[in-house]
Structure formats: C-alpha cells, structure tokens
Structure 1
C-alpha cells in the first residue's frame, strides 16, 4: 500500500542532519496537509529520531508513539476516558484475590503476516523481555508478575517458575506477586507488547538487540498500521494494516512521523500546512497563539516530570549536602513564569500533582540561604574549592534556556561555576545511560499511578540513571506498597517512599509538564489527556478545514 505525500525537502544545517520541508523554495504544489486530508495520511511532528523500534530496547516517548501504531497490547487505552479496553484480548477475568488474570485472545487477532496471535507468543515475548541478556531497561515494569524479578536478576533460570502460562493457545494466565490494581494500565505500555517469535529468531538470537527484524521489509507487528518506510532522520511512514482485527474502525490510511528536534522549525512547518500536529510549541510563541481567534493551540495537564538527574556516584554530587544545596538554590517559580510563560507547574517532587487520591509529601522550598549553609557544610563555602560541575542536556531551545537560567542561579546563590554541554539526542541518551555525566536534563512520562514515577529509582532499576539506592525505599515501594490490598494503604507507603527519595535528592525537580502543541482543525479523534496518549485507531481527518488566516 503506497501513498503520496509532498517530498519537497532540503537539508537544514544544525538540526542533526534532519531533512525537513523547505519553507522558502517549495511554494509550488499542494501541501502535506491538503494531500493528507484527501488521502487519509496524517503528518505528525515526533520530537526526535527513535533509537530503534524494538519494544524491549527503546525507552523514549518518540519511539513509543510509533510502536503504538505498529503494535497492540492485550488491552489498549481509550483516549477519552483513559480506561483499558479490549485489544488482543477480547475479554479477561480477575480472581477475587486480585492475583490471577486470565486473558482470552481474540480469535480475529493476527500478526501482519496473517498468522494467529497465541498465548504462547506472550509467554515467549515476556521471557525475552525479562531475560538478563536482553538488557531491557523497562523489564521492571513486569516485576509485578510472580517470580518475574527473580528471573530477570538471575536468581532463578527456569522461566516455567514465572507466573505466565499459556493454558491454551488462546488463553493466557498471569499470576501476580501481589494485588496490583493498575496491572491492566501497565499492559498498555510497549514493554508488554507481544512480538512474533519466528521474526525475531530469523534475524538473530532471542536476546539480540538492534537486529534487522525492525527494518520495514522484515517487520511483523499486530497493530492498526504496518511499517512501510524508515528514512533515517527524515521520517517514518506507516500504512493501514489489512490484517488488523478491528481495521474497519481505522479511518486513516497512513501516518508519517517526523523527527524534528527544533521547535521553531516544527512550528513553521505547521504554519505552511506541512504538519497536522506538532509535538510541542516554542515557548515564545505561546502568548501569540493563546490570544489568536480560532487558535490551533492546545494545552492540558500532562503526567510528566521535568527534572535534573544527579549522578550520585561522582563527586561532588555524591554528597547529599551538595545535591540538596543545588536543589534549594533553584527558583522554580521564576523559571515557570519567565522562561516557560506560565505554561508549566513548578515541581518539588518527582510525582506530578495530577494523580487522583495521591498527595505528594510536603515540598521543600526555594531557600538560597539554607543552600549556602549546606554547601559550606560539604566543604565549599561560597563556592571556595568547588571542583566544577557540568549540566548535560539534549538539543532544544527550551532545555538550553533552562540550563542557562539554572547556571546563573547557582552562580548567584552558591558562588559556583557551571559549564553546559549540549548533545544530539542519541549521544545524550547514551551519555546518561552510561552515567557519564554529573547533572543531566531528564523528563519522565508516567501513568495514572504514582509508582510509575517512583519505580525509576529502585536499586539497579533499568531506568535508574542516578545511581541512587536505598533498601528502605525499595521495601516501601515493592514489599509494602506492592503487597497492600487497599489503594489508601498502598499510596501511603508510596508517599513515604517519595519522602525518602526527596530527602536524598537524587534528582532536582524543575516542573510538572503540560501538553502544548498545535493541531490542525482537520484532525479529529486525538483528544488531549493527562497521559498524552494517542490511539491512532480513532484518529481521522476531515477535508476542507483550514487554518485561520491570522496564522500565516
């Protein structure tokens, strides 16, 4: 299935070799939006080039959005209610003690090569996801399954002891280590998607990473779309799947994802009808778009945290007094007001304040005087003897502005010199993953339960880039919180865990996210929500709608 779209592109220097639509010399012909509306092709800004399309390798939002088009989990998310609804599983039962989930595979659910999806595919896939050799940084998300952590850490080597069983080819039984009311929500994450075993093994061993199975000519998925083309640093194109079980509900014929790291380029592409929707919006454009009649600007609370992760294993930030001093010397209110144009919420913890029934622990406050005292106690009075510190951040104008502001705040309030290091996305990801940094910009998008943020800091956790480790924290989150029957008790333990975390300050919270983007009036079925979830199965395009003249 092939679709046309505008290929009037050129190379823009300084955008990580990204080839995007020229805004100057390509005025002839129809735009992506006009063609897309007619042919049912959605054009989306997607932040960065994904590091891959293997659900057990990638951890970033840009890859997750594409994987959500190419795969479907046992359950999927309704983008309006955020409630789980049938995906590969047409129905499921939960035991009265909340420990056993029995999923019935939809007989119409097949792989993109036409083969049926089986319960055994899930057993094989989750073994791969949890296998120590796979190196899956999201493996911990499956630790709620009985003995999953023991297998992942090498304590046991028989996967038959893990609580995942194929009772029949169409019946999957999952036994949890403790009641986990949000288990269905976790199954919406790409780390739990089933993979086609024969496709993986055709291109390597079960646990191999970055093999050729993710190339378009080899790819086998089970989502509403199939992978058609991957032009590195230009776009990833997917087309409507002819084998998807619920294809009659899929309105779009395809989606083109563009890795655009420069917010200003993305905004200009939107204005000239080359994108239906942006990933974000340049901060200095918010005032103008906010007051525009019939504005395409959209904003909503977003379950994400923007913070600086601090390397707890390298001097001088291996000293908790230094970490606390740095945190107390940041004026978050000023950053939110001036740099972010009041579009975010200042943060004093890692869990955003949008999760129902969860109250974060009492926050600390901006306190330069106490910050200076702590730095002096650590041996650096007024910055004397300071060994230097570097902030690492990935390419983004907003990240740069925030880094400069914090650099100046630490100079003014603590008397310390800070250097800045800007890195292209893939280099930055590797730098942080290898803990080859001192302080690094970080963001995390969680879900509607606090542990989706707190689990980042479990000892030796796959996404714990700070080096933080506290057995008391692990016990509160896993043993006590994980075994609690009631939500009130579970959340109380999680609140205690967050209090411990913020007392150790392995991160410096900056703000809680909000979604801010531009959306063309022709787009329907993509509502904003606190998880910024997009279920492209419901997206559609309405021809004839245009942007207001004031945007040109």
Structure 2
C-alpha cells in the first residue's frame, strides 16, 4: 500500500545470491541476521501501519488467518481450516489449537473480532479500514450509519471458531486476509497501553514468529527475537534479526562492506559500481511511484492543468538517467505485474495504458495554457513534498526541472523531509504536489484503484469523481462474480482515472541490493513489499 513515500519496496522472491565476481565480503559470525533499512519504524499497531519499516515490524511479529507463503500465495496460518458457503458469503475458520500471544496468554477467535471491530470503528480512524469494504456492515459502520460494532460481519462462535459474513462476494478476500490489518489484537493489552499501543517494544504484543525488542519509539536500532510461543516456532531458524535504520544508501553500503550488515539497498551509483559483486541482486516490485495533486489547491482542481503536468514529465529519462537500475517508466497507476487479462494473458498495464500517461511536451504546453486561462492565472507557484531518501530527493529535483521547463509560468519548490514528517503533512493535507509510492497489498487492481474512490481512507488528495466511483462499483459489486466483465470494468476504471489526471503515474519500482550469499530463505511478500524472515537462516 501507499505508505506516503515508501523507502524500499520489494516483490516476492527469495533474496538469494546472484552470480557475480569472486570477491567475498566478510560478515559477522553467528546465526543472527543484521539488516539495514531506510526509514523509521513508526508503529506496530496492525490497524494503523502504513510505512515499510512498520509493515516489516508487524509482519515479523504478527500473523493472521492466512500468511503469504514462499510461493507468493496466501496459505492458512493462524487458521487450520476454512469452510466457504456455496454463495461465497460466509467463511468459517477453525483456528489452530493452543495459539498464544508472546506473553503466554491464549489467542482466540475473540481477538480477531476485537481487532476487526477496532479497525472499523470510526473513532480509531484506522488506515486499514478501507480493506474491510464488502465485509458485512463494514462500510455502514465506517460511515457512522451503523454504530453497533457487533453488527460487523465477524463473530467468534467459540474460542477457536471464527465466522466471517460478507455483503457481497469478494474475489480478493483470501489475499486480503493475509494483510496485517486483519491480524488479531488482544483487547486487554490494547486498552491497558492506551495511546501508547504500538509505539514502543514494551507496548507491543506478538502473535507471529518474532518479538520486537530494544525499540523505544525512536531508536535507530532494534531487534526481532524469536517468539517461543509462536505456533510454528520450530520453523523459525534465526534467533534474532538486528535492524539498523540508516539515513541513506551510503551508510547501508558501508555497513555491508564492513561486514556489519547482511543486506543493503543500493542507490543508482552504487548499483552501477556493484554489479560485479557476489550477492548483487535486482528485485522487481508491484509498486508505482506517482505524483499527487492536492484538490485543496484550486489550481489543481483543473483537469487540464493536471493533465498538463502529467504530459510534462519524461518518464523514460527519469527511470534511465535519474533512477538507474531502480525503476522503469510507468504506463498506468496500477502496478506492472499485478494481474493479467484472463482472456489474453497480457499484463493489465498493457491493456489499460492510455495516451494520458506519456511524455508529450507540445500537448502539455497547450493544456497548461488553456488551464491557466480557465483559472484566470498567468503564473502558478506550487510546493512538491517528498521524502528525504536519495531516490525521493533526486526524483523531486527532476520533476521540478521538467515541470518548470515545459510549463510556462509554473514555479515549483521542492520540500524534502523525513518520512514521519512527510506522513504527517500528507495526512493533514499540507502539500500542493506530493511524491508517493503505492506498493500493492494483494494481486488485484482493486487494491490500488480503491485509493481514488471518494472518501477512501487513502484518498489523500481529496479527488472525487462520481463517474469514477460508479465504474469502481461496477467492477467490485455489479460484476464481482463475472471474471471477464469485472476485468473490463477495472480497465475502464484505470483509464478514466488517467484521463482525469487523478494522479500522475511516474515509474514502476524495483530495487538493487547486496545480500550476504550465506543468508538463505529471506522472502518478500509478493506485493506487500515487506521482508519475511520466518524461514531465514544464515549458514
């Protein structure tokens, strides 16, 4: 998911050694892993996790009914079995026997009920609430039309039986249930910790492979220690994962070369100079980086001006010259590799691509002039908000140059701030233009397209269009059970968003990195973008 500016995003692959030169980098002895990440850990609250470091934390310390397996597909986890009714509207899960929290207390179906109710309660203002749409009464509860949380379509029939009821069939439900927003939460722990829940290691509770240690809420280093109460603890071979938060790729690179890190993400220069190294790898992602345009600014409400800004950016040069090795030009908002046409097998992006996501200097100038005339302006000043990672700052500077060069009368200032500040400013709507990345949470275009629906919790620009909402509803409600019709609806929804300049897609993400060849079994969720160290082992 978007996560304002995601600092690193990865696709589902085993991060294993890639053939390279014979130079061997020395690494610390022992079975613990030493990992570097850019971006601060902000929370372990499953209901409100957004950024990559926090998603890594919840992925390491929590688990839901399903977990994304090494095949990239959801597999039963906390649940040992599921029974689905013929109409697809009732899912009954049997939990594993003797599930426990990291404090040794019993984990039951009631913990799922509490968590889901908390996430959907408008008072929580949970980031993950939008993913519950389609579960009985979730939309009505979130809008305030229904105030009784017990009307949500989730019930504990007993301590080990959970029943989920839907308003409509959800083809993507199994994939969604592997997401961290559907993880259990222990009511007594959440209420006791109060506002501190998820803000430090001691205010966090684990249901997954690891327990978070040594994090005081702002620590730049912290640790995941094997959880002895985890139901599948025998499968966890690594006693601890030591994480170091770095300000930039240079620090990570130096730690790796000094033998103090088993993994380091590379910037473009490092990638070019490291291709010969043993352990060099490239990882493709199901993520799109795009420019947002805040509708609180009257200028950005003009569709011609929005289209002009999209046309003004040369995505080929951005990917090739600025983000060398870390991106490819985007053709759609929905990420590449997310899904395929059920009839032709073509990637969604090849089916849905329109002229509106392309570089056209002449059309940009024409639309910009027309848009300025409509708004009664001769000049426009905008601020572009970005994160402070190398890639974010470089992209921001490139966009500034492209927009000012190709759009007469436009002045763009770039404001690059740390991830926490980016998140706060974006949530508060205190930006004109923003640089954002959405890493899909599951393999369905709905995951990304829902963020543009009117009032969606991740619709942070305030863009609203009744026709878009209707196209989205047709795909997700009217044609939900018709695979071919649903796919056509999703293509139409994407194309309409492109035509209206809802956002300006820029690049599809990938990363280059160095990983210790002695480390095996580290997987990344197919589309979630998080590391999964459950099966990791350093030889």
| TM norm. shorter chain > 0.5 | yes
Matched residues in 1 for 2:436 and 2:198: separation?
Answer: 30
TM-score by length of 1: 0.87
Inter-CA distance 515–95: structure 2 relative to 1 (3 Å threshold): farther
Asked if the contact 1:283–1:341 (Cα under 8 Å) also holds between the matched residues in 2, the reply is yes
Answer yes or no: is 1:362 the counterpart of 2:356.
Answer: no
Asked if the contact 1:112–1:220 (Cα under 8 Å) also holds between the matched residues in 2, the reply is yes
Q: How does 1:102-121 map to 2 (within 5 A)?
A: 102-121=92-111
Q: State the Cα deviation string for residues 425-445 of structure 1 (Å, max 9, x = none).
A: 211111111111000110111
Match of 1:489 among 485, 489, 509: 485
For residue 259 of structure 1, give the secondary structure of its aligned residue in structure 2.
strand
Match of 2:394 among 392, 401, 423: 401
Asked if the contact 1:267–1:282 (Cα under 8 Å) also holds between the matched residues in 2, the reply is no
TM-score by length of 2: 0.89
Asked if the contact 2:256–2:262 (Cα under 8 Å) also holds between the matched residues in 1, the reply is yes
Residue 213 of structure 1: how far off its partner (Å): 5.7
Match of 1:535 among 522, 532, 536: 532
Partner of 1:248: 234
Residue 535 of structure 1: how far off its partner (Å): 2.4
Asked if the contact 1:308–1:441 (Cα under 8 Å) also holds between the matched residues in 2, the reply is yes
Answer yes or no: is 1:323 the counterpart of 2:320.
Answer: no
Asked if the contact 1:300–1:530 (Cα under 8 Å) also holds between the matched residues in 2, the reply is no
Inter-CA distance 427–32: structure 2 relative to 1 (3 Å threshold): farther
Residue 328 of structure 1: how far off its partner (Å): 0.3
Residue 530 of structure 1: how far off its partner (Å): 4.4
Residue 391 of structure 1: how far off its partner (Å): 0.9
Partner of 1:516: 512
Is the deviation greater in 127-136 or in 421-430? 421-430
Inter-CA distance 129–285: structure 2 relative to 1 (3 Å threshold): same
Partner of 1:22: none
Answer yes or no: is 1:304 the counterpart of 2:313.
Answer: no
Q: State the Cα deviation string for residues 9-38 of structure 1 (Å, max 9, x = none).
A: xxxxxxxxxxxxxxxxxxxxxx99414xx1
Task: With a CA cutoff of 8 Å and minimum separation of 6, indicate the structure with the bigger relative contact order.
Answer: 2
Asked if the contact 2:52–2:530 (Cα under 8 Å) also holds between the matched residues in 1, the reply is no
Q: State the Cα deviation string for residues 50-94 of structure 1 (Å, max 9, x = none).
A: 222211222111100111111111110113x11111211011122
Partner of 1:175: 165
Asked if the contact 2:425–2:431 (Cα under 8 Å) also holds between the matched residues in 1, the reply is yes
Matched residues in 1 for 2:93 and 2:26: separation?
Answer: 41
Inter-CA distance 408–216: structure 2 relative to 1 (3 Å threshold): closer
For residue 34 of structure 1, give the secondary structure of its aligned residue in structure 2.
coil
Partner of 1:261: 247
Partner of 1:219: 204
Matched residues in 1 for 2:484 and 2:338: separation?
Answer: 13
Asked if the contact 1:322–1:374 (Cα under 8 Å) also holds between the matched residues in 2, the reply is yes
Matched residues in 1 for 2:26 and 2:243: separation?
Answer: 12
Residue 46 of structure 1: how far off its partner (Å): 2.1
Inter-CA distance 527–201: structure 2 relative to 1 (3 Å threshold): closer
Matched residues in 1 for 2:184 and 2:474: separation?
Answer: 28
For residue 273 of structure 1, give the secondary structure of its aligned residue in structure 2.
coil
Match of 1:67 among 58, 64, 67: 58
Asked if the contact 1:300–1:529 (Cα under 8 Å) also holds between the matched residues in 2, the reply is no
Q: How does 1:72-151 map to 2 (within 5 A)?
A: 72-79=63-70, 81-151=71-141
Inter-CA distance 128–33: structure 2 relative to 1 (3 Å threshold): farther
Tell me the C-alpha RMSD between the 2 structures.
2.0
Q: State the Cα deviation string for residues 209-239 of structure 1 (Å, max 9, x = none).
A: x425643334322111112210524112121
Residue 474 of structure 1: how far off its partner (Å): 2.2
Answer yes or no: is 1:385 the counterpart of 2:382.
Answer: no
Inter-CA distance 236–334: structure 2 relative to 1 (3 Å threshold): same
Residue 363 of structure 1: how far off its partner (Å): 2.3
Is the deviation greater in 230-239 or in 129-138? 230-239
Unpaired segments ≥5 residues, structure 1: 1-30, 205-209, 543-552
Matched residues in 2 for 1:366 and 1:125: separation?
Answer: 45
For residue 449 of structure 2, give the secondary structure of its aligned residue in structure 1.
helix
Q: How does 1:271-310 map to 2 (within 5 A)?
A: 271-278=257-264, 280-290=265-275, 292=276, 295-310=278-293
Residue 315 of structure 1: how far off its partner (Å): 3.0
- Say how many residue pairs are matched: 499
For residue 230 of structure 1, give the secondary structure of its aligned residue in structure 2.
coil
Inter-CA distance 245–344: structure 2 relative to 1 (3 Å threshold): same
Residue 394 of structure 1: how far off its partner (Å): 0.9
Matched residues in 2 for 1:528 and 1:107: separation?
Answer: 28
